[in-house]
Amino acid sequence: MDVTDESTGGAVGTEGALRTAPAPTPRSAPGPAPGSGDGTAGVRHGRLRRRPRAGRVSWRQTLRRDGVLYLMALLPLAFLVVFRYLPVAGNVIAFRRFRPGGSIFGETWVGLRYVEMFINDPTFWHVFANTAILGCLTLAICFPLPIVLALLLNEVRKTAFKRVVQSVSYLPHFLSIVIVAGMTMQLLSLQGTVNQVVEAMGGEGIPFLQRPEWFRAIYVGTEVWQTVGWGTILYLAALTTVDSSLYEAARIDGANRWRQTWHVTLPGIRPTMVTLLILNIGTFLNVGFEKVLLLYTPLTYSTADVISTYLYRVGLVSNNLSYAAAIGLFQACIGLVMVLSANFVSRRVVGASLW
Amino acid sequence: MVTSDAMTPAGPRAGVPIGPRDSKGYRLFTGLNAGVLVLVCLVVLYPFITLLAQSFSSAGAIKAGLVNAVPVDFNIETYRAVTQDERFWTSYGNTVLYTVVGTVVAMILTTTFAYVISKQHLRGRNVLIGIAVFTMFFNGGIIPNYVLISSLGLKNTMWAVVLPGALSVFNLLVMKSFFENLPRELEEAAQLDGLGWFGIYVRIVLPLSKAVIATMVLFYSVAYWNDWFSAFLYLDKNELFPMSLYLRNLIAGASTTTAESAAAIGTTGAAISANIKAVTMVLAILPILVVYPFVQRHFVSGVMLGSVKG
């Protein structure tokens, strides 16, 4: 309430100052833009241009001038605190005994009990390995393919054709993961097209989704299907910014198209590549949890079960919330460390980084 | 081998008119390239085609493994049966409701916050940005979120689906950079006319940002339309299920829901026949497919706006 009153009062005050320029209110005097002669310009600068020398403006003046802005930020901030930061803090239940229906921060400290528990849990290490393998496969295959597709698209000269290919290839991005899983099941079922092809070539039908040895291929395949087209957008945008005089120069130096691609195009889109690589590395342990949950069966746990699905079953199916939270926290920390280190390495090695 | 041959000859880059210097090898490459891209399109489209074919086929034909790209025993009976099921329409209605409410809430949060953090003179601006960006790299995780939603009493309410996704930091940063690039003179003029920050935001900034707002609305509505996991976690009552969760239960063929609805559509046994699954999937994708051609470029421009910021 205090803030409201002060800010609206302030707003009126400054507006008054705007109209009756010659008499600046005492409050606005030390504030904005020393040296600008009349009060109007001063206020304007203070409000819209960059903040005058930091430290000069007191918080009271800031509040008076920008109170409305802080007020506008309140609701989103409250949202972030409740729905983003409370869960982060809620991770303390990884170190506390949790009673369903009790405080979201648990009851009593148990120290590293749950951490020790998962470190000594062979299943945890098994799903950890599965996650790492799926993550690496996805990264190795789904990261470079959009670059290749973008380069191919970039060579197309018929705009209409290019546009059609782009539209079609973006489409899977907009589908719910449920639909993707449904399509996958239909295609790979014993009556599905894939098995018909297998049988036509003299093979025997394979229940793909019940075979652990096929799960990784299915996972990565659907990932490619859904993400590669959409992934080209940023590369295509980056490709248009490559300076055409560089191609000219390369041609004069006798570079053929392949060499032009290698020496001009690829370096031209390198910042985009690095940025996306960092982002991909950061999220690499969060392998498409929802998709695994939809596609796996107890028969394929040996290759399909990942950290998130395991902690989902431990936590929400078997109700070991603290234990599951400990695993989740571990996963989140690894993710954070990976983004930070990928960013650090790329800043050192190629001089491009996210921040 | 073929590709390396095809790449060898020098020629103008894409976009540059084809000159006489185009060698045979380059033309070969162009042809191959077009072939590869057509193949890509076919691979992308095939699952849709076979889904459509199954939706018009009889259950028996699918079971016999006869249906690929063309319907066998063409009929629209399955469509009739599925659309007569009350659950189908309830879940469809829920999806529409969650999408609309979620998008509205998300847009209010995103635009106001983006406007605030786009003000470069604002004290504490970097703190505000930092608070938002941190959540991109570190999130609470499934379990604490679940505990939170339960203890807020949001389970089995629409808000459990709507609120957790209501502010995407990516979208926030896209809007922020858009606002930052609006011409400042307009705001200054409005200020001289006596408008406060909120007045400027509502009367000047928002009307000028229709394009980016449209893009964000699309991003959020697709996310809500497709979301199934929060519904799966937080909703237990059939009458609250959105389309995606209804579909998931149908596909998984597991829960009681599906057995019941199967009975409702006149299928016997717990196994839902493939044609019913196909029809439901087609109907769930349909709105996206219908709208997609018209809005696609907005999506693309949204992604690009985001990348400008980096």
Alpha-carbon gap: A248 to the closest alpha carbon of chain B (Å):
9
A309-313 contacts, C-beta under 8 A, 24 or more apart: A309/A127, A310/A123, A310/A124, A310/A127, A311/B142, A311/B143, A312/B142
Q: Which of A176, A276, A306, A337 is best to mutate for the B interface (most B CBs within 10 A)?
A: A176
The domain segmentation of chain A, as residue ranges, is 2-95, 113-349
Q: Where are the beta strands (DSSP E) in chain A?
A: none
Domains of chain B: 2-78 (no CATH), 81-309 (1.10.3720.10)
The residues, ordered by sequence, that sit 6+ positions from A267 with a Cβ below 8 Å of its Cβ are: none
The residues, ordered by sequence, that sit 6+ positions from B16 with a Cβ below 8 Å of its Cβ are: none
Which among A11, A229, A255 has CB closest to B196? A11
User: Which regions in chain A score pLDDT beneath 70?
Assistant: 1-56, 352-355
Q: Does B126 touch chain A if contact means CB atoms closer than 8 Å? A: no
| Percent of residues, chain B, with pLDDT higher than 70 | 85
Alpha-carbon gap: B5 to the closest alpha carbon of chain A (Å):
10
B5 to chain A: closest CA residue: A258
A190 to chain B: closest CA residue: B65
> What CA–CA distance (Å, rounded) separates A319 from A265?
53
pLDDT tens-digit map of B238-289: 899 999 999 998 887 644 344 444 444 444 334 678 888 899 999 999 988 8
First vs last C-alpha separation in chain A: 37
B127 pLDDT band, cuts 50/70/90, is very high
pLDDT tens-digit map of B212-249: 898 899 889 999 999 999 999 999 988 999 999 999 98
Cβ atoms of residues B154 and B163 within 8 Å: yes
Six-digit token string for A13: 């005050």
Instruction: Write down the pLDDT at residue B160.
Output: 93
Mean pLDDT of B93-100: 95
Class of domain A113-349: mainly alpha
pLDDT tens-digit map of B16-46: 444 445 677 778 888 899 999 999 999 999 9
State the ipTM, two decimals: 0.83
Q: List phi, psi (to 5°) of B151.
A: -80, -15
pLDDT tens-digit map of B70-91: 888 888 888 988 888 888 999 9
Q: Does A226 touch chain B if contact means CB atoms closer than 8 Å? A: no
Instruction: Write down the pLDDT at residue B271.
Output: 60
What residues in B contact A329, CB-CB < 8 Å?
141
B69 to chain A: closest CA residue: A193
What residues in B contact A50, CB-CB < 8 Å?
120-121
A200 to chain B: closest CA residue: B65
Alpha-carbon gap: B263 to the closest alpha carbon of chain A (Å):
21
Q: What single letter denotes the amino acid at residue B227?
A: D
Expressed in percent and rounded to 5, the helix, strand and coil fractions of chain A are 75, 0, 25
Which among B50, B108, B296 has CB closest to A187? B50
Q: What is the mean pLDDT of chain B?
A: 82
For residue B113, pLDDT over 90 is answered with: yes
The residues, ordered by sequence, that sit 6+ positions from B147 with a Cβ below 8 Å of its Cβ are: A90, A93, A98, A104, A321
